[in-house]
Structure 1
Amino acid sequence: MELSKRILVTGGSGFLGSHLCERLLEEGNEVLCVDNFYTGTKNNILHLLDNPFFESIRHDVTFPLYLEVDEIYNLACPASPIHYQHDPVQTTKTSVHGAINMLGLAKRIKAKIFQASTSEVYGDPEVHPQTEKYWGKVNPIGLRSCYDEGKRCAETLFFDYYRQHSIRIKVARIFNTYGPRMHPNDGRVVSNFIVQALRNKPITVYGSGKQTRSFCFVDDLIDAFVKFMQSDDHLIGPINLGNPAECSILYLAEKIIDIIGSKSMIEMKPLPSDDPKQRKPDITVAKKELNWEPNISLDDGLNKTIEYFDKMLFVSN
């Protein structure tokens, strides 16, 4: 039986972070959740606060942190365009200064550290599906650059700390993920469509709606996080984590309307700047090295997510 660990999760009250904290506690670990609550919310971790092995710390990762832990999951950074474009300078600082501070901590205490990178490092890709060897096509001065280039720089820092200081790193490139605890106003396509459909409001589809995404349910992704962190130290990544089942944005809108039985109509709007036309992970490495692939279907995942938002909206009304 594996001994329990003391694990730090930055961004621990966010969508992915709260699910990760929950999973790590279920596996018998002690969890320190660090968050400045800029986009995360205490509502996501309220059910964990009575657990004696869980601790919540209000802290901004752009400032150093001094703790003693065995492992670090660095998830801190706004992940939706609405949030990360609100204060783009702070977004870049969170990715870059946050990475420097967490890597410095890992170096000092000799902890293994996981970086939540993103498929956004591929930009608007010219290669489809995207493999880890693809370097990407990113606009360095666009509206999304604070997030895209911040995450790219964080990957650079992780690999330089690995080469220069022999830090044990794990770098995951996360593709579109959805599920309960998404922020209802984060501007991401699944939460947008579900909230609009539940309210019978027009569903806003940008561009032609033919642009594609691949949607991974949160439980599948958290499985991959844990498997990756538990893998041998030689496996450092970057590794694509996501669901290769691709669908158009228009198809997703129509499916959500159908599941909910909504009266919503679809409203077309201009495509935002630098919005990728295609996004699909090649997960060959994850399948081979982690023996992982998603197993929750889009229909099952959407039903669980719709149920969450339906309850949330009912309570707020």
Structure 2
Amino acid sequence: MTARLLTVLVPAYRPDRIVETVQSLADQGFQDFVVRVGYDRADDYEPPDLPRAQFDLDVVQHPRRMGWVGNANALLATVDTPYFVVVAHDDTLSQTFLADAVEAMEREPDAVVVHGVTEHRGMVRAGEVSQTDAIVGSAFERMSEFIRRGPHRAELGWRGLIRREALPTVPHLRTRLSDGQFSNTLFALELLCYGESVSLDGIRYIKNTSSKGLSRDLVSRSADAKSRMLADNLACLADALAAAGDRLDLDQREHLLTEYAHWLLKLQGPWNILADEKDSSRRKLRDVRGQVASFVARALLSSVSGHARPTDETPASERRSS
């Protein structure tokens, strides 16, 4: 197999439009890539014949059910090309996205990811578009800006072209739970620790959501289960920040953890694990969330750094230099 410039990863589980997904890759004017489709085990699903073009096609049939995160991570571990992109099953790319993204990446040596505008179709947010501008600056400035914009709005890097060599370890979704809620968001945030993002004009990624692609137990999860998942996501961010080494100092890590925790605690609808703002004092609820976020950030920072963060209440004799 000839060495390629990039890898397109397609994690799939009982997809409705996998043929359309691969056809959008066959329609790319740029063809210097390998497509690697990973089918999670589903005994009631027969994969269709997929379109072929000048790209290399590699189909992986997992022998056991791995879940979204397990499937995606198994594919991510195979990347050995300078660039890669993840296209979720049933989604499609605009015809010039890969060529334009490679050109932008080679023009911007400090970029770790290039993305465009995402259009939503199907059962969730149909007709809406998601877009966010480029994020530049230092690692701390980039990650702070991501959280300030709102992670659910700024996470388009997950659907962009990524520079493999900018990442110090094998790229992977961080989670300890099978379905890894918000693991994509965390992945997009972690990318910004290692480089800037570039935003292309126009719709470049089409997100199709079908009934088979929705988590079947999302609404039925208990508040306790949701709380554990959000705590897991925050703990994974602490791990990611620890892995950043000297790119971030202790104060910056604490700030990022606190702000991200605050975002998680402000989630509304089915993910609101504290209270509904409609039935609560906004000021009181905001204060409680701020205190909880600060406490959780300090606790996590202590667990990954090996020592407690000094506070105003800590006796001077017990304080240690960080």
Find the structure with the greater CA-based Rg. 2
Which band: TM-score by shorter chain?
A: under 0.3
* TM-score, normalised relative to structure 1: 0.25
TM-score normalised over the length of structure 2: 0.25
